[in-house]
Structure 1
Amino acid sequence: MSWLRALRETARSGLTVERRRLDPVIAARAALGLALVVGFSLALFGPAVAASSAFGAFQAAIATFQRSWRPRPTLALASGASLAVSTFFGYLTGAHDGLFLALLLAWTFLSGLLWAAGPTAGIIASSNVAIMLVTVTLPTSVATAAGHAVMIFAGGVVQAALVVLLPVRRWGAQRDALADALAAEADYARRLRHDPVAPFDPVPLMTARSAAAVTPGQARRRPAELHGARGLAERIRPVLASLADPAVGVPEEGPERERVRELLAAAGAVLDAAAHAIRHGEPVVLPPPAVAALRTPDFSQTYARSVARFGGTLVGVALATAVVRFAHPGTYLSAALAVVCAFAMYLLMRTGYAAGQVFVAAYVVFLLGMEGAGLTQTVRDRVTLTLLGGLLAMLAYAVYPAWETPRLRGRLADWLAAVGRYAAVVTAWYADPAGTGSPDVREALLNTREARVAWQEAVDRATHEPVRHRGLSHAAAEQADHALAEFGRVAMLMEAHLPERGAPPVPAAAALAESLRRATERGAKEVRERRAPHWDDLRETLDVWSADPPDHFLLHKGAALLLEALDEVTTALTDSTRAR
């Protein structure tokens, strides 16, 4: 992709307003908290203190909107406390350029590190740095610094208290995560009706698994419908796949296939009904036709955010400045306008970065305009510094880019190694059904999902990068993706038919499991070293089986399909190497 096209695509992405379900009640609660803090502070302490407390309440409310499984009051308190500490040190060092610059560098570095802990921590930390730059322009001393910090933390406390006193959709994030997982499986069941080997996106199940990780105290308060459904959903997926796959199920055409399509459609309807009930906290209403059918007798965002931030800031500052210049709002009207802008930002923050930035910029203008001093300079400086910051960020990313394209082979190797371990663990279970392999199978499957998601995200980012491929073309990546997805699907089908504990073992499975493990680990190493992988050990194992195959059809057939998928990986990487 050329630089011009890449910039055009990222600019379009950054300025796009996404269609998302809005939460006006939650946005109104956040705006109410901000209004209470601003009104109380204005009445008792004046505009300067009101601005500080407003920043605390504003940032704490933003924290409660993040996609996190932690309790919302905890997020609000953490945001208020961290912002209070940041601004306190900012006040103390603001009069000394050298100290303030050192503090700013340290805080920025720490905020970057916190992104590794998760997007919620990263957003809170990054916002603290930005707000510290704004509030440091207010009059300061040690006493007033402590007072402002206390008021900032008080704003976070107010938002946390409102979340407790005015709850909206308790466990809503966990409900949505589990409902999305069930809805994804419903869609998967419907797609299998027309494509027996349709791929499955594991992200919803991974998200639901993260949402289910709660503390013992939360587990005691968790609604009954959030218990156990995720584990059942994970067990349903391989059953749906094996039901649709003609390799282990019914023929591709005929009355048996029509019955399979009927069962898949019914499964999709039941899963959708369960998802709806969990999302809204309502009793499950199963569609009668479905019940009858189942009753049988048997980091790329840099450019996009730079464009969005500058565009949104420019529009927000322009509109707010026009209102201030022509309407001349007083202190209290400016405070009210700031609250309105905050409400609009809370309401629209999930629809895109640009839309929220418009109201953030207007919010700052109205908030700092409560005193009526320095407004022109504030507006000019904010526009200039925003433009300068955006250009510097884009320039830095161009000079020292974190491109995903050169790392694609590493991501592919990670997925190959993970899916190879998964297939080896599944196969080893056939050799020792009385062992303790089931937990290992589940852990290996989850690791495979994480590796596959990391690969797919890297491919998506690399698609829009204005660089040539370095050893892995788009065609090779697509072919290798298809091959490893097929490899994982075959292993999943083998898992769906694991023998029960105490069943007769298949001794030949032990040799296959060890061969799979060694071959895929060595193959992953060869992929990282930009060599085409070879599967000689695995091929020798199957050659031995050709004379005396193991007494298990699925195991014999599955091993052959696994080798075919690995050969396709080799073909894709060989063609890519020759293309260089």
Structure 2
Amino acid sequence: MGDGARSGYKRGVFKALAVRPAAPDVGAVVRSLLGVLVAAGLGLYLLGPSAALAAGGAAAIAGAAALQDSPHGRFPIVVGVSVAMGAAVLLGASTSAYWPVFVVAVAIGCFLAGLAWAAGRNAGLLAAAGCVLLVIAPPTPPSWAGVVGSAALAVLAGLAQAAMIALWPRRRWQVQRQALTVAYRSLAADARALAEDPSGEIAAAPLRRLREVFTFTPEQAVRHPLAYRAWYRLPERIGVTLAALAGRSNVDHGLSPILAAAADVLDAVARPTRANAKVTGYAMGRFDAVAAGASDLESPLIRRLSAQLRDAAALRYGEAAPDTAELAQRRRPGLVGTAAQAAALIRGQVDADSPVMRHAIRLSVAAGCGVAIARVADVAQGYWIPLTIVMVLRPETAHTYTRCVGRVAGIAAGVAVATLITLVLHPAGPFAALCGVLLLGAVYAVAGRGYVMVTAALSAALVFLVDVSGVAGLVTMGDRVIAALIGGVLAILAHVVLPDRTSVRLRQRAGELLKAEIDYAATVLRASVHDVERPGEQMAAAWDRALRARAAFEASAATGLMDDRQLRRWLSSYRAGLNAVTASCAALEANLPARRAAETSTALASAVDEYVEALRGDPQTAGLAWTLDVTTLVAAAGRVRAELAGVDDGSARVLLTEIEAVTGHLVQIGSLQRVSEPTSG
């Protein structure tokens, strides 16, 4: 990689790093909000306020889906969201005038939206947003032109957002793609150089910059699934394997052709175009042919490199399970494949003990009751009752009531602020839509400042989008706040009447505690091989989170059936295993110097990083308690052991001892999770 390419890439990285990690790309957000404003304006001009709400709401939801943090696969998701929003508008507009039918429609729609949490947090939030469009449908007699027109505008508004992300992708995605291209080209150049001179090294700067543009901070990396982290971890692992092969090549020059063949594959993978798919297949075939003649002594490294190259090709061409013979036919899952994957996850949660199923039932019953109360009692601004329920309820097992109350308070504050703005400015029509869009921008601005502020900003935006006439006064504000409070009470009652089972809640808290303890261990391990900023503060924060998780676990265990002998035995074993993990991490932290005396080798740092990734696993989902992938963890620990085998250093010996101790204890905990889970309650 030339100096010009390096300097150009460096400028791109620094531009990306200038954006706050918690904030979305400002340009992409502005484009999305402009799409919402145009959609709402067209709906208002063509069909009236109801269509403006449907089109603007669908555009806002599709725009939020388009801003998800993923390097590819957004377009089919946004298209699917657009169709789903159109269906929600169609269902609401056609049934809202007949309240018994509308109650049933809302109950069914909210039940399906609750089940969507099985497919992940983003899917659950998008489904809840669709329910918002459903429950706020005005109770006006439907006409074919109005119903079909509103639904069509909603779909078109969402598709317009999909078109905008295709034409003007987020700057961060562009920087990430550029970083991937630079990293793979650098690896290809290094592989060719190592084939000629095995004493060379792998350039570390492109790989380090690749990690930076994908993660920004280690804390942000934890929130990403393993599939996302593979984008920057896989090139690092390939670099380590290439360096290991080059070291063997010093004594066996027959490995040079393998390095050269790997360079051809990496060059083809650097630009995953349709034309390069066939080139990648041919390059992979040549690599297999060259590798077939390698000696048995080198076969483990060659097999590792072969698997990594296949994974790189699969990841760049949008597949999860690579097949060299079909590289030219690689396609991304698409809308149908994404929907099929989500349906499979939802089917797995159709069980009475599932927290997702219980959430779906709670949401369905509470929202249906909220609509019935609003219509039968003729509550002024009554749509805020089911709207509050949809915005408040989540499939949470920890701090449930506190978060419900916090969200209701945020809704009340947002309604009050929006109503006061109405009293001062008297916005109506397009001006009201503009105010709603500006407040949607405030939702993005406060996205990293807590759920209360986000809920307040969102409810304020909804005030303007729902009531574009702008006719509101202090009485209207009081009616909205009272309706929101009624909805909040119904949401809390739903949790009281239909709580999660004691055993399920205990299992979820046990998973949360295990994840918190592992995050503490990962923080200590990362500080052992990397120079991190303020390591003491990071470890103290991780330990504080672990303490809070332990307190929540013990509180949940105290409410369990303590006369159950199996449960007591399980709790005793689980506590003992976690205490042993904590002791190992404390010993490692005590051995941690303020600054490491010597630079850690790239191979060792990569091995420890891979172990940390295996520790952290995927983020916890609503439907399943967090569990360990014991097989991956043991394999990663073996790689650390291999890297430290020839190192004669006291700190390295302590690191290896504690990693093996942590692995052993976690394997025992993993067996407890699989075999001896609490079943009472």
Of 117, 120, 126, 1:118 maps to 120
CA distance, structure 1, for counterparts of residue 71 and residue 55 of structure 2:
26
Q: How far did residue 367 of structure 1 move?
A: 2.3
SS in 2 for 1:333: helix
SS in 2 for 1:75: helix
1:529-548 alignment runs, 5 A limit? none
CA distance, structure 2, for counterparts of residue 126 and residue 85 of structure 1:
14
Q: 2:106 matched to 1:104?
A: yes
Is the 8 Å Cα contact of residues 319 and 362 (structure 1) preserved in structure 2?
yes
1:6-405 alignment runs, 5 A limit? 20-21=22-23, 23-67=25-69, 71-137=73-139, 140-169=142-171, 171=173, 204=221, 207=224, 209-211=226-228, 228-229=234-235, 231-232=237-238, 299=396, 300=398, 302-372=400-470, 379-402=477-500
SS in 2 for 1:78: helix
Structure-2-length-normalised TM-score: 0.46
Q: How far did residue 39 of structure 1 move?
A: 2.9
Is the 8 Å Cα contact of residues 302 and 393 (structure 1) preserved in structure 2?
no
Q: In structure 2, do the counterparts of structure 1 residues 205 and 60 end up closer, same or farther at CA, with 3 Å as the change threshold?
A: closer
Q: How far did residue 22 of structure 1 move?
A: 5.2
Q: How far did residue 120 of structure 1 move?
A: 1.5
Is the 8 Å Cα contact of residues 62 and 346 (structure 1) preserved in structure 2?
no
1:451-470 alignment runs, 5 A limit? 459=549, 462-463=552-553, 468=558, 470=560
CA distance, structure 2, for counterparts of residue 528 and residue 322 of structure 1:
53
Q: How far did residue 102 of structure 1 move?
A: 1.5
CA-to-aligned-CA distance 1:54-80 (integer Å, 9 cap, x gap):
111111122223455653333332222
SS in 1 for 2:558: coil
Structure-1-length-normalised TM-score: 0.53
Matched letter for residue 316 of structure 1: G
Q: How far did residue 150 of structure 1 move?
A: 0.6
* Identity in percent: 25
Q: How far did residue 151 of structure 1 move?
A: 0.8
Matched letter for residue 235 of structure 2: A
Q: In structure 2, do the counterparts of structure 1 residues 132 and 29 end up closer, same or farther at CA, with 3 Å as the change threshold?
A: same
Q: In structure 2, do the counterparts of structure 1 residues 85 and 466 end up closer, same or farther at CA, with 3 Å as the change threshold?
A: same
Q: 2:499 matched to 1:406?
A: no
Q: In structure 2, do the counterparts of structure 1 residues 484 and 51 end up closer, same or farther at CA, with 3 Å as the change threshold?
A: same
CA distance, structure 2, for counterparts of residue 340 and residue 349 of structure 1:
14
Matched letter for residue 332 of structure 1: P
CA distance, structure 2, for counterparts of residue 360 and residue 122 of structure 1:
17
CA distance, structure 2, for counterparts of residue 80 and residue 345 of structure 1:
21
Is the 8 Å Cα contact of residues 413 and 527 (structure 1) preserved in structure 2?
no
Q: How far did residue 160 of structure 1 move?
A: 1.6
Matched letter for residue 358 of structure 1: A
Q: How far did residue 145 of structure 1 move?
A: 0.9
Give the corresponding residue for 1:6: none
Is the 8 Å Cα contact of residues 113 and 128 (structure 2) preserved in structure 1?
yes
Q: In structure 2, do the counterparts of structure 1 residues 401 and 334 end up closer, same or farther at CA, with 3 Å as the change threshold?
A: same
CA distance, structure 2, for counterparts of residue 314 and residue 529 of structure 1:
40
Matched letter for residue 432 of structure 2: S
Q: How far did residue 346 of structure 1 move?
A: 2.6
Q: How far did residue 134 of structure 1 move?
A: 0.8
1:545-560 alignment runs, 5 A limit? none
Q: How far did residue 146 of structure 1 move?
A: 0.9
SS in 1 for 2:580: helix
SS in 2 for 1:135: coil
Is the 8 Å Cα contact of residues 68 and 120 (structure 1) preserved in structure 2?
no
SS in 1 for 2:92: helix
Matched letter for residue 415 of structure 2: V
Matched letter for residue 456 of structure 2: V
Q: How far did residue 319 of structure 1 move?
A: 1.5
Matched letter for residue 168 of structure 1: R
Is the 8 Å Cα contact of residues 414 and 460 (structure 2) preserved in structure 1?
yes
Q: How far did residue 397 of structure 1 move?
A: 2.3
SS in 1 for 2:463: helix
CA distance, structure 1, for counterparts of residue 466 and residue 223 of structure 2:
43
Q: In structure 2, do the counterparts of structure 1 residues 57 and 69 end up closer, same or farther at CA, with 3 Å as the change threshold?
A: same
Q: How far did residue 529 of structure 1 move?
A: 6.5
Q: How far did residue 390 of structure 1 move?
A: 2.1
Q: In structure 2, do the counterparts of structure 1 residues 374 and 330 end up closer, same or farther at CA, with 3 Å as the change threshold?
A: closer
Gaps of 5+ in 2: 1-19, 181-206, 243-395, 516-545, 561-567, 585-614, 616-629, 644-664
CA-to-aligned-CA distance 1:529-548 (integer Å, 9 cap, x gap):
79xxxxxxxxxxxxxxxxxx
Matched letter for residue 418 of structure 2: A
Q: How far did residue 97 of structure 1 move?
A: 2.1
Is the 8 Å Cα contact of residues 408 and 472 (structure 1) preserved in structure 2?
no
CA-to-aligned-CA distance 1:108-127 (integer Å, 9 cap, x gap):
11111111011121111111
Q: In structure 2, do the counterparts of structure 1 residues 232 and 48 end up closer, same or farther at CA, with 3 Å as the change threshold?
A: same
> What is the count of residue pairs matched by the alignment?
374
Q: In structure 2, do the counterparts of structure 1 residues 29 and 394 end up closer, same or farther at CA, with 3 Å as the change threshold?
A: same
Is the 8 Å Cα contact of residues 365 and 379 (structure 1) preserved in structure 2?
no
Q: How far did residue 49 of structure 1 move?
A: 2.4
Give the corresponding residue for 1:254: none
Gaps of 5+ in 1: 1-17, 189-200, 214-224, 237-298, 416-455, 500-515, 531-580
Is the 8 Å Cα contact of residues 108 and 129 (structure 1) preserved in structure 2?
yes
CA distance, structure 2, for counterparts of residue 58 and residue 464 of structure 1:
41
1:489-500 alignment runs, 5 A limit? 492-497=636-641
Is the 8 Å Cα contact of residues 221 and 229 (structure 2) preserved in structure 1?
no
Q: How far did residue 354 of structure 1 move?
A: 1.8
Q: In structure 2, do the counterparts of structure 1 residues 97 and 174 end up closer, same or farther at CA, with 3 Å as the change threshold?
A: farther
SS in 2 for 1:351: coil
Q: How far did residue 132 of structure 1 move?
A: 0.8
Give the corresponding residue for 2:677: 528
CA-to-aligned-CA distance 1:430-452 (integer Å, 9 cap, x gap):
xxxxxxxxxxxxxxxxxxxxxxx
Is the 8 Å Cα contact of residues 413 and 528 (structure 1) preserved in structure 2?
no
Is the 8 Å Cα contact of residues 39 and 56 (structure 2) preserved in structure 1?
yes
Give the corresponding residue for 1:545: none
SS in 2 for 1:349: coil
Q: In structure 2, do the counterparts of structure 1 residues 235 and 462 end up closer, same or farther at CA, with 3 Å as the change threshold?
A: farther
Q: In structure 2, do the counterparts of structure 1 residues 202 and 57 end up closer, same or farther at CA, with 3 Å as the change threshold?
A: closer
- Per mean C-alpha deviation after superposition, the further-off stretch among 65-74 and 373-382 is 373-382
